[in-house]
Amino acid sequence: MLKGINPLLSPELLKVLCEMGHSDTIVIADGNFPAETMGKNGVVLRMDGHGVPEILAAILEVFPLDQYVEKPVSLMERCEGDNADVSIWKTYDRLISEAEERGTSVIQKLERFEFYEEAKKAYCVIATSETSQYANVILQKGCVL
> Is 40's pLDDT higher than 90?
yes
The share of the chain scoring above pLDDT 70, in percent, equals: 99
> Is 26's pLDDT higher than 90?
yes
For domain 18-140, the CATH architecture is 3-Layer(aba) Sandwich (3.40)
Contact between residue 52 and residue 126 where contact means Cβ atoms under 8 Å apart: no
Average pLDDT over residues 8-23: 97
Select from 78, 100, 74, 97 the least CA-distant residue to 87.
Answer: 78
pLDDT of amino acid 140: 98
Q: List active site positions.
A: 22, 66, 116
Specify the pTM.
Answer: 0.97
Instruction: Give 109-119 pLDDT, tens digit per residue.
Output: 999 999 999 99
